[in-house]
C-alpha cells in the first residue's frame, strides 16, 4: 500500500492530476488491505485530492466490498457504480444492458435496483454515483419477429461492429445517433 500511494503522490506532483479512481472488479480482494490502501493514500495525498472507488452494479455477494466500504468509505470522495453491461450477448438473448427500472421477469438487473441495493447494504448515498453508458450493445436475433427485449428475443451472437469502435456487438453513442 505504501509503495502504491507513494507512486500516486509522485504522479500527482509530476502530472498535476487531482484524483485517482480505484476500479475494483473482483470482490475477492483483501478488504483489510484495500482499507489500508485507502487510508494510506488519503493521509499522503490530503483532503483536496479526489479518491474514488468503482464497484460493479450487482454482485453475487456484497460482502467483500462491504467490508472495505464499512471501514474505508471515510477516505473516499465518491463511489462509482458500474450500472451497465448487465446484459449482453453472453446471455443468449437481446436485452437492455443498462435498464433504468425493473421489468416483468427481470427484477434485479437494472440501475434502480442496483443503486438501492448498495444503499441498503450500507454505502453512503451521498457518495454513490450512477455509471451512465454512452454506448449500446447489438445482437443478431434468431428470429426477427421476436424482438422485444428480454429472454424471448433469442440471440445467436454479438451483432455488428461500429464503423469506429470496430468491436462486434458494440456501438458508441455517436454511432447509434448516426443510424
In this structure, which long-range contacts are made by residues 14-19, counting pairs with CB atoms below 8 Å and at least 24 apart in sequence?
18/48, 18/49, 18/50, 19/49, 19/50, 19/51, 19/52, 19/77
CA distance 36 to 142: 50
Nine-digit cell string for 59: 454482485
φ/ψ (deg, to 5) at 26? -115, 115
Partner residues linked to 51 by β-bridges: 20
Catalytic hit among 2, 14, 25, 156: 25
63 given a catalytic annotation: no
Nine-digit cell string for 103: 421489468
Catalytic residues, by residue number, are: 25
Amino acid at each position: 500500500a505504501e509503495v502504491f500511494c507513494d507512486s500516486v503522490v509522485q504522479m500527482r506532483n509530476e502530472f498535476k492530476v487531482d484524483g485517482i479512481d480505484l476500479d475494483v472488479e473482483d470482490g475477492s480482494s483483501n478488504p483489510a488491505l484495500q482499507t489500508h490502501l485507502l487510508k494510506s493514500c488519503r493521509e499522503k495525498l490530503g483532503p483536496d485530492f479526489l479518491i474514488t472507488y468503482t464497484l460493479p452494479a450487482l454482485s453475487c455477494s456484497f460482502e467483500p466490498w462491504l467490508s472495505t466500504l464499512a471501514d474505508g468509505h471515510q477516505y473516499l470522495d465518491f463511489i462509482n457504480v458500474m450500472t451497465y453491461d448487465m446484459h449482453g450477448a453472453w446471455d443468449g438473448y437481446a436485452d437492455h444492458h443498462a435498464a433504468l427500472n425493473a421489468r416483468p421477469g427481470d427484477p434485479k438487473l437494472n440501475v434502480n435496483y442496483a443503486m438501492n441495493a448498495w444503499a441498503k447494504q450500507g454505502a453512503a448515498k451521498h457518495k454513490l454515483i450512477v455509471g451512465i453508458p454512452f454506448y449500446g450493445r447489438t445482437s443478431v436475433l434468431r428470429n426477427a419477429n421476436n424482438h422485444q427485449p428480454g429472454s424471448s428475443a433469442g440471440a445467436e451472437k454479438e451483432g455488428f461492429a461500429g464503423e469506429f469502435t470496430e468491436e462486434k456487438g458494440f456501438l458508441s453513442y455517436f454511432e447509434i445517433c448516426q443510424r
